[in-house]
Amino acid sequence: MTTPPSGPAALAGAVALVTGAAQGIGRAIALALADVGADVAILDLQPAADTMMAIQTRGRRALSIVGSVADREVATAAVARVVKDFGRLDIVVNNAGISERMGLEDLDEKTLDRTFDVTLKGTVIVTQAAYPQLKRHGGAIVNVSSTSAMAGGTISMRADHESEGGRSGPAYAAAKAGVIAFTRWLAKDAGRYGIRVNAVAPGPVETAMTRGYDYSVTTQPIARMGYPEDVAQAVIYLASPMANWVTGQVLVVDGGVVMD
Percentage of residues in the chain with pLDDT exceeding 90? 80
Q: Domain for residue 221, yes or no?
A: yes
Are the beta carbons of 158 and 165 closer than 8 angstroms? yes
Are the beta carbons of 210 and 156 closer than 8 angstroms? yes
Q: Domain for residue 62, yes or no?
A: yes
Q: H/E element holding 136?
A: helix 122-137
Q: Domain for residue 22, yes or no?
A: yes
pLDDT in tens, 176-212: 999 999 999 999 999 999 999 999 999 989 877 767 6
pLDDT in tens, 100-158: 888 898 899 999 999 999 999 999 999 999 999 999 999 999 999 999 999 887 655 55
Higher per-residue confidence, 215 vs 170: 170
The tally of domains found in the chain comes to 1
Q: H/E element holding 176?
A: helix 170-190
Q: Domain for residue 97, yes or no?
A: yes
Angle between helices 49-57 and 24-35 in degrees, nearest 10: 20
Rounded distance between C-alpha atoms, residue 11 and residue 7, angstroms: 11
Rounded distance between C-alpha atoms, residue 84 and residue 118, angstroms: 25
Catalytic residue among 131, 156, 176, 215: 176
Q: Domain for residue 258, yes or no?
A: no
Q: Which of 107-116, 164-173, 251-260 has the highest mean pLDDT?
A: 107-116
The contacts of residue 95 (CB under 8 Å, 6+ apart) are 18, 19, 20, 21, 25, 26, 29, 144
Task: Determine the structural domain holding residue 75 and report its residue range.
Answer: 15-253
Q: Domain for residue 10, yes or no?
A: no
Catalytic residue among 146, 156, 168, 240: 146
Q: Tell me, what's the pLDDT at 162?
A: 47
Q: Domain for residue 9, yes or no?
A: no
Pairing of β 155-158 and β 139-144 = unpaired
Pairing of β 62-66 and β 39-44 = parallel
146 is catalytic: yes
Pairing of β 213-214 and β 62-66 = unpaired
Percentage of residues in the chain with pLDDT exceeding 70? 93
Amino acid at 73: E
Q: Domain for residue 220, yes or no?
A: yes
Catalytic residue among 64, 121, 172, 213: 172
CATH code of the domain covering residue 116: 3.40.50.720
Rounded distance between C-alpha atoms, residue 124 and residue 138, angstroms: 18
pLDDT surpasses 70 at 45: yes
